[in-house]
Amino acid sequence: MALGKYYFKYHECGAIGELPDKDDTLTLLDDNKYRSSFWGNGEYRIEYGIFRTLLVLSYSGGTASYELEIKKVGNKITIVLDGACNFFYEKIE
């Protein structure tokens, strides 16, 4: 479901936190690894909950992580960075 490339198109917003400050591509690979110009290279896991699904990115040698929500509406999959600012990665491949 979640494997593939996702594109984030940066736009101005007053969001606070560890968020990309320019366009980015996040690639989720089938070996639970990812690549991103913002997040770097690391490992990910997907946590399935009753009301939402989380993508947890581990980076800095596993010493840090960031949780992002995965949303699927129809065939469209997005990874939400900040809902208030409408920051999200959209699946492109």
The CA–CA distances, whole Å, from 38 to 18, 34, 73, 76, 88 equal 10, 11, 26, 23, 13
| Strand-pair category, 4-8 with 53-59 | unpaired
Question: What does the pLDDT read at residue 93?
Answer: 83
Number of domains in the chain: 1
DSSP label of 11 = -
d(CA 40, CA 14): 23
Question: What does the pLDDT read at residue 82?
Answer: 82
pLDDT digits (tens, 9 = 90+) for 28-73: 999 999 999 988 999 999 999 999 999 999 977 767 788 999 998 8
Range of the domain at 67: 4-14+21-91
